[in-house]
Structure 1
């Protein structure tokens, strides 16, 4: 288990979300990403990017991480999403569970849990 590699991929995801940057997101995930989300589940990088960038309402938000836990099977990140969505304040707690490919060069599964 390489925590540095995992943290770099997680940061690409979180920064990609905050900046709505498809290249950062694409760099973090395997082409066959499985994404479990409270709104809907998604398979594949193109549908993932469509959902995470193109279909999101206008927002200026930031993911603030408060805890990271790495175990051989997965990594867990807990924190808050703060800022605005469609001009309205947002402060939501999240917990993301990440799974990785064998050489930890890509995220293969992301399960998102949110409490607003």
Structure 2
């Protein structure tokens, strides 16, 4: 298990979300990404990018990671998303579960759990 590669991909995802950077997000995920989210599930990179960037309301937020756990089959990241969404303050707890391809060069599955 290469935790460094995993952390780089996870950080690319979180930074891509914080900066609405589609290319950073695209580089972190496999083309056939499976994204499980409380709002809806999405398959494929184009649908994922549309859901995570194009369809989101205006926001200025940051993901603050408090914990990372790596086991052979997945990585788990716990933290908070803080900032504003449509001008309103947000402070949401999240727990993300990441699965990777065999060489740890891309995220293949991302399951998101949130608590407001």
- TM-score with structure 2 setting the length: 1.00
Where in structure 2 are the equivalents of 1:2-81 lying within 5 Å?
A: 2-81=2-81
- Tell me how far 1:46 sits from its aligned partner: 0.1
Q: Give, in whole Å, the separation in 2 of the partners of 1:27 and 1:19.
A: 14
Q: Give, in whole Å, the separation in 2 of the partners of 1:102 and 1:115.
A: 31
In structure 2, what is the equivalent of residue 110 of structure 1? 110
What are the ranges of 5 or more consecutive residues in structure 1 without an aligned counterpart? none
DSSP-derived class of the 2:49 partner: helix
Q: Give, in whole Å, the separation in 1 of the partners of 2:27 and 2:77.
A: 19
What are the ranges of 5 or more consecutive residues in structure 2 without an aligned counterpart? none
- Tell me how far 1:66 sits from its aligned partner: 0.1
Q: Give, in whole Å, the separation in 2 of the partners of 1:77 and 1:49.
A: 20
- TM-score with structure 1 setting the length: 1.00
Q: Give, in whole Å, the separation in 2 of the partners of 1:2 and 1:54.
A: 32
- Tell me how far 1:9 sits from its aligned partner: 0.1
Q: Give, in whole Å, the separation in 1 of the partners of 2:61 and 2:42.
A: 23
- Tell me how far 1:82 sits from its aligned partner: 0.1
In structure 2, what is the equivalent of residue 99 of structure 1? 99
DSSP-derived class of the 1:40 partner: coil
The ranges of structure 1 where at least 4 consecutive aligned residues each deviate by more than 6 angstroms after the TM superposition are: none
